[in-house]
Structure 1
Amino acid sequence: MNNLLWLIPAFPLASFLILALTGKRMPPSWVAIIGAGSVSLSAIVTIGTGISFLLLPPVTGNYSQTLWTWMEVAGFNPKVTLFLDALSLVFVFVITFVGALIHIYSVAFMVYDKDYSRFFACMNLFVFAMLLLVLADNLLLLYLGWEGVGLCSYLLIGFWYENPGNGYAARKAFIITRIGDTAMAIGLFVIFYQFGTLLIPDILANAPIVWKSGTAMATITALLLLAGGVGKSAQLPLQTWLPDAMAGPSPVSALIHAATMVTAGVYLIARMHVIFQLSPIAQMTIAIIGAATLLIAGFSALTQYDIKRVLAYSTISQIGYMFLALGLGAWTAAIFHFMVHAFFKALLFLAAGAVIEALHHEHNMFRMGGLKNKLPLIFWTFLIGSASLAALPLVSAGFYSKDQILWYAWSSQNGNPLLWLTALTGAFITAAYTTRMMILTFWGEMKTAPGQQPGKLMTVPLVILAFLSIFAGFLELPHNFGPFSPFSDLLHQVLPETSLKSGISGELLFQLLAFLATFSGIYIAYIFWYKQPQRIEKLKQSETMMRLYRFWLSGWGFDKLYHLAFVRPVIFIANINKNDVVDKIYQGITLMTVYLYRILSFTQSGSLRWYIMGLVIGAIIILGIQIML
């Protein structure tokens, strides 16, 4: 099956080219077939390749296919080579399978949009770029896909560009992620200088030979790569772009900002895990960033009123759990939570999109309510996704993936009580804001009557994702539940096992504490937003609580801080510098051009006799020159 690897990214790339060049002239049905069909074909090829990979494992542990040599410069000859191992297989499956479901949903969701073909062209280009990122065998090709998904994110966040706010959100995402991307690019230069290659297998094999554990160069390189991951995955301190990215259509939020692009940082760190293992400082930094992010974003989600912004802060928080796991050295736990999160968060974004569409584009949860019986299928699928997000014990996939991270936060060699307590507090807050979201949207008094019910193209993907949000968790059972762990067994072909503290025990006790945190969060939200909502009104009378509420609502004031520290100084300097000598040179060129234009414009008087006279004079001059020669 390795000779078919090229088909996986080729289908969405071909679809993008067709739609970009001819989509405007196609009927919508053709656009839908090409746009959604291409990603579905990629998913089918991925499933076939995955079955082959699992049943007939390659001798080398991976499939590799070289398409062509990209360039040859002074002995540097990176190739366009696709590389599939256990780690990239998980990501490719999520990108294509979940991506296909989102594209099918989009066929109905975007059908009345005037830029229908442009939407699918951008979505297809994104899928291609993300596949290139996770299938690349060298860091240069990976970086091409990395920047490709950044471009597509910009295009799709600002898809409805007529609204200036959407354009601002797209620019904000593009600029903030460039900060991390620049650091990552510097990291690639350092790696090439140290190893003389950007081939990922060679780097991973030679890193322990070139660097000793804890050396400064290993730490610098790891931190530069981490900066790239922090920007792309919206972690502290570069998390501020993701909530505003909800300006894009709901399928964009589901695909890019829940299931795939924002987890690119998780993939990068897991793929380059050997370098991070050589730098305990960088690895602990990852854990601290993840722990701080999951807590800060969780508190912000607890105060939002826009249903998509709740899910946006939730995404930041859940990726924080993945970063925490990576920092702990719980590599397979991070990837397992990535996969499960992709299922339930894509489900929640798509279900939220269906609610917004049914309520005539209403986003405010406080203007919803009472939809449980009016939108029953949306309600049940949203409930399943919410149960998985809240890590409802035993019955949701989110429990099995998050439980591993909580256990490793205590029991792994890098774990400690503070990281565990932070993760446990995050679990409590997650359960609280998730329950609040469910109550405000589906229970209580109906404030906006729903219109048209969503069709099967929108509901079938929800049902499939709901199924996966329940049963995907059984691919990896907790250690005290039994030895069934096919997911980690697969990933251990690529990623090392998590090292635990000696003599560690009591996993059941920690699971009971996680149960208590989850149910406490659910109960608190039930009391405050359903049973006794007057308590919230009483809290709002306190000036201290209102300040805290506004602080969390604003995302802990990071946007204001960055505006004061960076945006205003740049604008101030630009205003001072706008009439410098360089500008005067260009202004002079402009004035000269205008002056010459005005002189030449006299020759275009519109009078036929002047034109004839000009021709006669020109002919006389030419003949005179010829005679003189």
Structure 2
Amino acid sequence: MQHLLWLIPTLPLAGFLILALGRYLSRTTVALVGVGSVSLSALITIIIGVNFISNPPPSGAYSQFLWTWFNASGFAPKISLYLDSLSLVFVFVITFVSALIHLYSSEFMIEDKSYARFFAYMNLFVFSMLILVLAEDLLLMYLGWEGVGLCSFLLIGFWYEKQENGLAAQKAFIITRIGDTAMAIGLFILFYQFQTLHIPALLQGASNKWQIGAPIACTVALLLLAGGIGKSAQLPLQTWLPDAMAGPSPVSALIHAATMVTAGVYLIARMHVIFERSPFTQHLVAVIGAVTLLLAGCSALAQFDIKRVLAYSTISQIGYMFLALGVGAWSAAIFHFMIHAFFKALLFLAAGAVIETQHHEHNMFKMGGLKDKMPLIFWTFLAGAMSLAALPLVSAGFYSKDQILWYAWSAEKGTAWLWLAALIGALITAAYTTRMIILTFFGESKTPLGHLPGMRITIPLVILAVLSITAGFIELPHNFGQVTIFSDLVQKTLPETRMQAGVESEFAFQLIAAIIGLSGIYLTWWTYAKNPGIIDKLKSQALPSTLHRLWFSGWFFDTIYNALFVKPFKTITSINKNDFIDQIYTALVQFTNTLNRILSLSQSGSLRWYIMGIIMGSIIILTLNILL
């Protein structure tokens, strides 16, 4: 089956190339090409995946060499695809979830004047992410890495007629460039050390050549971590993601569930050997994840825009994945990535349906009363919310998040502080999720209902809702039984988590986590549903009001960055606007224009002048020949 690998990324690319001719295509054709290309890619992925699992390759991976990219002084990176158990999980999520999002988009964006352009960008986004996770060479991975950055810019600013949308796209592009630059430097160091960017060779070389704690390993790991922080919107480069909600709702679902923000998680997992050679950096990954999940969770509690709540939620949930990676719980991080993709895509798509039906209203405080008016949207949204809040036993999110909580305590690199941060994060998550449900679907209706969504919107919601409830049962906790399908698959590529504690006390930790999560749900329900006046009283007091402003603003990171970087840069550029360099180019332009005006005098349109010019030129040439 490995000979079919090239079709997985090629089909979305072919869709993009066809859709680039969008103005010549009907909307039906655009939808068929956009949805069909990604759906075929998902189907091929499932076929290859079933064959991979049922008949594992002896080497543990499929590899397909396509061609040599270029050859310069012995450096010959290859266009080669590599599918092991890690990349298989990512490719499945990318193609399957993207296919559902594309189907949803075919109805959601039907009235948009740039229907073909939207699907062209979406297909290019999927292609770039597939190249990122299938690349066997870091240079090819970097091509996909930059590709998703470009596509995020194009899609966040899709409605570029509004200035704020363009600014949000610029912000995402510029901030992620910081991490990308650091990652590029890391690639240069890796090539200098090993004379190759072939990933399996690099990991083998790092394992053999670098000692644990070696300065060079720490340097490279920190540079790669910076790249992951930028793409995955972790502290301190997290500020671009909430503003990225300027794009259409399907774009938000794609960025948060199947592409872009999960790239950093994949990078760290793929290069795990290098991070294991730098214990300091790996611990830093866990700390960054723990702090980020708390800060983002608090910010989600203060938002009124339903999409910004979900945006901060994504930052927080990616923080959980970083925490798991940092303590060496590799399979737990990837498991949560998969489950998160299902419920976060569901929540964004359902939120998009609500916003569209509420006449593009984003403010949850202006919604309400939708439970009975939009029952299908409510129940599917509730399924995703249950998984996000990790409702015990009945949601997939419980099984993936429980693993991270347990490993934060019991893994060899886990600590009580990391576990406590994850536990408090679970309380906060349950609180803002319940708040979102109550404000959006319960209480009095504040905005009249518009056109209800059709089948192409509701079918993806139902499928994702089923997965958000049931997908967790492929990996049960240690004390629940012997169902470990997911970890058995992923640990063929990633090392098993080393434990410092047995499973005897795991039930006690699960009970604590369940009580904390249910407490968050109950307290929020009691506050917003039973005693809504309490919120107004709290806002009138100094400390709660200050905290609300702090959390609502994203902890003033934007304010600080504007003061430290943006405003000084703008001031310097305004001072340097007319420097001597510009004067050189201005003089060159003026000289060219003057010369153009002089030469244009010879173009009088008079045949007599042209003949005279030819004769004079001939006389001058003959005279020069005689004299010389």
Q: Same fold (TM over 0.5)?
A: yes
Is residue 14 of structure 2 the alignment partner of residue 19 of structure 1?
no
**1:204-223 correspondence runs (5 A):** 204-223=203-222
Aligned residues of 1:17 and 1:121 also touching (Cα < 8 A): yes
Deviation sequence 1:424-472 (CA, Å, 0-9, x none): 0000000000000001100001011111110000000000000000010
Deviates more, 1:88-97 or 1:610-619: 610-619
Inter-partner Cα distance in structure 2 for 1:153 and 1:342: 17
Aligned residues of 1:259 and 1:345 also touching (Cα < 8 A): no
Inter-partner Cα distance in structure 1 for 2:329 and 2:8: 29
* Counterpart for residue 582 of structure 2: 583
Is residue 402 of structure 2 the alignment partner of residue 406 of structure 1?
no
Instruction: Please report how far the alpha carbon of residue 398 of structure 1 lies from its aligned counterpart in structure 2 after TM superposition.
Output: 0.3
Inter-partner Cα distance in structure 1 for 2:548 and 2:244: 22
Instruction: Please report how far the alpha carbon of residue 623 of structure 1 lies from its aligned counterpart in structure 2 after TM superposition.
Output: 6.0
* Counterpart for residue 44 of structure 1: 43
Inter-partner Cα distance in structure 2 for 1:366 and 1:393: 28
Aligned residues of 1:7 and 1:42 also touching (Cα < 8 A): yes
Amino acid at match of 2:565: F
* Counterpart for residue 7 of structure 2: 7
Inter-partner Cα distance in structure 1 for 2:502 and 2:107: 55
* Counterpart for residue 329 of structure 1: 328
* Counterpart for residue 609 of structure 2: 614
**1:76-87 correspondence runs (5 A):** 76-87=75-86
Deviation sequence 1:154-174 (CA, Å, 0-9, x none): 111011111111110001000
Amino acid at match of 1:518: G
Inter-partner Cα distance in structure 2 for 1:473 and 1:404: 11
* Counterpart for residue 516 of structure 1: 515
Instruction: Please report how far the alpha carbon of residue 413 of structure 1 lies from its aligned counterpart in structure 2 after TM superposition.
Output: 0.9
Amino acid at match of 1:550: R
**1:3-152 correspondence runs (5 A):** 3-20=3-20, 22-152=21-151
User: Using a 3 Å threshold, how does the CA distance of structure 1 residues 503 and 387 change in structure 2: closer, same or farther?
Assistant: closer
Q: Which runs of 5+ in 2 are unaligned?
A: none
Inter-partner Cα distance in structure 2 for 1:575 and 1:308: 36
SS at match of 1:474: helix
Inter-partner Cα distance in structure 2 for 1:370 and 1:513: 33
SS at match of 1:286: helix
Amino acid at match of 1:428: L
Inter-partner Cα distance in structure 2 for 1:249 and 1:417: 41
Instruction: Please report how far the alpha carbon of residue 602 of structure 1 lies from its aligned counterpart in structure 2 after TM superposition.
Output: 5.8
* Counterpart for residue 507 of structure 1: 506
Aligned residues of 2:256 and 2:344 also touching (Cα < 8 A): no
Is residue 297 of structure 2 the alignment partner of residue 298 of structure 1?
yes
Q: Which runs of 5+ in 1 are unaligned?
A: none
Instruction: Please report how far the alpha carbon of residue 377 of structure 1 lies from its aligned counterpart in structure 2 after TM superposition.
Output: 0.5
TM-align CA RMSD:
1.4
**1:213-362 correspondence runs (5 A):** 213-362=212-361
Amino acid at match of 1:320: G
Inter-partner Cα distance in structure 2 for 1:162 and 1:601: 40
Inter-partner Cα distance in structure 2 for 1:387 and 1:611: 83
Inter-partner Cα distance in structure 2 for 1:578 and 1:274: 47
Instruction: Please report how far the alpha carbon of residue 613 of structure 1 lies from its aligned counterpart in structure 2 after TM superposition.
Output: 5.2
Aligned residues of 1:359 and 1:449 also touching (Cα < 8 A): yes
TM-score (norm 1): 0.97
Inter-partner Cα distance in structure 1 for 2:622 and 2:187: 68
Amino acid at match of 2:9: P
Amino acid at match of 2:13: L
User: Using a 3 Å threshold, how does the CA distance of structure 1 residues 392 and 600 change in structure 2: closer, same or farther?
Assistant: same
Instruction: Please report how far the alpha carbon of residue 596 of structure 1 lies from its aligned counterpart in structure 2 after TM superposition.
Output: 3.6
Deviation sequence 1:48-74 (CA, Å, 0-9, x none): 000100111111111111011111112
Instruction: Please report how far the alpha carbon of residue 75 of structure 1 lies from its aligned counterpart in structure 2 after TM superposition.
Output: 1.5
SS at match of 1:64: strand
Aligned residues of 2:257 and 2:342 also touching (Cα < 8 A): no
Instruction: Please report how far the alpha carbon of residue 502 of structure 1 lies from its aligned counterpart in structure 2 after TM superposition.
Output: 4.4
Deviation sequence 1:591-627 (CA, Å, 0-9, x none): 323434454566678xxxx735533543553565577
Amino acid at match of 2:131: L
Inter-partner Cα distance in structure 2 for 1:504 and 1:467: 30
Instruction: Please report how far the alpha carbon of residue 77 of structure 1 lies from its aligned counterpart in structure 2 after TM superposition.
Output: 1.3
Instruction: Please report how far the alpha carbon of residue 206 of structure 1 lies from its aligned counterpart in structure 2 after TM superposition.
Output: 2.0
Deviation sequence 1:537-569 (CA, Å, 0-9, x none): 000111222121111001000001011111111
Aligned-pair identity (%) = 66
Say how many residue pairs are matched. Answer: 624
Inter-partner Cα distance in structure 1 for 2:27 and 2:377: 26
Aligned residues of 1:133 and 1:143 also touching (Cα < 8 A): yes
* Counterpart for residue 556 of structure 2: 557
Amino acid at match of 2:610: L
